[in-house]
Chains A and B, each alone.
Chain A
Amino acid sequence: MKISATVTLKKEVLDPQGKVVSQTLKNMGYKNIISVRQGKYFKIELNETDKEKAKKIVEEISKKLLTNIVTEDYTIDLD
């Protein structure tokens, strides 16, 4: 089973890289850009057939390792 986890800085935390990308896009002429948040994307392959179990494992590793829960949020998607 393949599951992906996306980790981004929380809304209230300044994301300097995202801000710079957003500003650069505006400078390039993309006037309709409102904002950009940069994050990390993890593609995880598990030896597990039960969707719920797999999701639970990814949830756990997201909390334990992939994110710093003080500053980051994560979302999980089943592929």
Chain B
Amino acid sequence: MKSSIIVFPGSNCDRDVAVALEKFKISHQMVWHNETSLPKTDLVILPGGFSYGDYLRTGCIASKSPIIEDVIKHAKKGGLILGICNGFQILIETDLLPGVLLRNKKLRFLSKNVFLKVINVENHFCINFNKKSIIKLPIAHNEGNYFADNKILQNLEDNNLIAFKYCDEKGNINKDSNPNGSSNNIAGILNSDKNILGMMPHPERLIDPILSGEDGSMMFKSLLKSQ
């Protein structure tokens, strides 16, 4: 599997993603945002960070950068795209995923580990997870409060397009286990063809016991398995 990590000014998780990909022997190239075409690639990763200093709206300026046109083409051809944190915000601003990410309900930057329930395992990113399993991943964001109108939420629920929901240690999905106020406790969603995943938690940060856990490994193993 060949992958491309798009690097924007202000990206700061691009190298973490690269380390994770290297660990799982997925070849990768760093692609600068000013490039106009992607190298031959199966997977595009939009990493976390603060692209363009979060100017205007999070992910907004990045969604208009030169490389994005080719990323959209890659998406339309069925190529895989994984947007993590700021990458998720960029996917939303690019209209590749529906809804918006508002400021966290309590207006605080959140940096902590959270529990997630894996809702959909029938996609390239999650086939190695067990359905309804509870995993632990870190979040680090200020704008992760997923919001969409009822029609969009209903469509996500009905078509099984929600990949992860915030839950507690026991798997309860409720207000108390919702860190940022997201509608329906949504932490990550897929597009209708399930070739695009946007998620606020960071799988690349928990890929080794030395980093206090390796639940994130499953995503990279899934990607390897799905090729």
Contact = CB atoms under 8 A, between A and B. Distances in A.
B107 A71 contact: no
Contact of B100 (A17, A20, A40, A71): A71
B147 A71 contact: yes
A65 B59 CA distance: 11
Question: Which of the listed residues B99, B102, B147 has the most CB atoms from chain A within 10 Å of its own CB?
Answer: B102
Interface in B55-96: 56-57, 60, 64, 93
Contact of A70 (B60, B64, B99, B107): B99
Interface residues of A, number: 10
A44 to B, nearest CB: 14
Contacts of B60: 65, 68
Contact of A68 (B57, B103, B107, B148): B57
B56 A70 contact: no
Contacts of A68: 57, 60, 93, 100
A66 B93 CA distance: 12
Interface in B87-139: 93, 99-100, 102-103, 107
Contact of A65 (B56, B102, B147): B56
A20 B108 CA distance: 13
B198 to A, nearest CB: 15
A39 interface: no
Nearest to B145: A14
A16 B56 contact: no
Contacts of B147: 70-71
Question: Which of the listed residues A16, A40, A70, A71 has the most CB atoms from chain B within 10 Å of its own CB?
Answer: A70
A16 B103 contact: yes
A70 B100 contact: yes
B89 to A, nearest CB: 11
19 contacts: A13-B102, A16-B103, A16-B107, A20-B107, A40-B56, A65-B56, A65-B60, A65-B64, A66-B56, A68-B57, A68-B93, A68-B100, A70-B99, A70-B100, A70-B147, A70-B148, A71-B100, A71-B102, A71-B147
